[in-house]
Structure 1
Amino acid sequence: MSVDATGTSAGTALPPGIALCGIGDEAGASLDEQISALTTLGWGHIELRNVDGTAVADLDEAAFERLVDRLAAADLAVTCVDSRIANWGRPITADFDADLRELDALGERCHRLGTRYVRVMSYPNDGLSEADWRQEVLTRMGKLAARAEEAGLVLLHENCAGWAGTEAARMRELLTEVDSPALRLLFDVGNGVAYDYEAYDLLPTIAPYVEHVHIKDAVGTPEDASYLLPGDGRCRVEDSLRYLLDQGYTGVWSIEPHINVRPHESLATEGKDGVDAFVEYGRALERMVARLAEERA
Structure 2
Amino acid sequence: MITLSAFADEISPLPEEQIDVLARHGIKHIEFRSIHGKNVLDLTDDEHAQFRDLLRQNGFGLSAIGSPVGKIKITEPFEPHLDRYAIALKLAEFYSTPRIRIFSFYMPEGDDPAIHRNEVIRRMTALAGVAEAKGIRLFLENEKGIYGDTAERSHDLVTAVGSPALEHAFDPANYLEVGQDIDSAWNLLRPQVGHFHVKDYCTKTHKNVPAGQGEGQIPRLIADAVAHGYKGFCTLEPHLVVAEKFYGFTGPERFGDAATALKTELNARDVSFA
TM-score scaled by length of structure 1: 0.84
Q: Which amino acid aligns with 2:159?
A: T
2:189 matches 1:206:
yes
| Superposition map of 1:224-263 within 5 A | 225-263=206-244
1:1-297 equivalence runs, <5 A: 17-87=1-71, 90-126=72-108, 130-161=113-144, 162-167=146-151, 169-220=152-203, 225-264=206-245, 266=247, 268=249, 274-293=251-270
Q: 1:27 to 1:51 in 2, by over 3 A?
A: same
Q: Deviations over 1:135-175 (max 9, x none)?
A: 110011111111222332211111224222212x3223212
Q: Secondary structure at the match of 1:191?
A: helix
Q: For the structure 1 residues 99 and 200, does the alpha-carbon distance in structure 2 shift closer, same or farther, using more than 3 Å as the test?
A: farther
Summarize the Cα distance change of 1:176–1:107 in structure 2 as closer, same or farther, 3 Å threshold.
Answer: same
Give 1:14's aligned residue. none
Q: Residue type of the partner of 1:94?
A: E
What stretches of structure 2 of length at least 5 have no aligned partner? none
Give how far 1:267 is off.
Answer: 5.7
Q: Is the 8 A contact 2:10 2:248 kept in 1?
A: no
Within 1, Cα distance between the matches of 2:135 and 2:232?
Answer: 19
How far is the alpha carbon of 1:294 from its aligned partner?
6.7
SS of the counterpart of 2:208? strand
Comparing 192-201 with 113-122, greater Cα deviation is found at 192-201
Shift of 1:275: 1.2
Q: Which amino acid aligns with 1:241?
A: I
Shift of 1:245: 2.0
CA drift at 1:263: 4.6
Does the CA contact (< 8 Å) of 2:100 and 2:139 recur in 1? yes
Give the C-alpha shift of residue 130 in structure 1: 4.0
TM-score normalised by length of structure 2: 0.91
Residue 11 of structure 1: aligned partner: none
Amino acid at match of 1:289: L
Q: Number of residues paired by the alignment? A: 270
Distance 1:44 1:244 in 2: 21
- Superposition CA RMSD, Å: 2.0
1:116 maps to amino acid? P
- Does the Cα contact within 8 Å between 1:228 and 1:259 map onto a contact in 2? yes
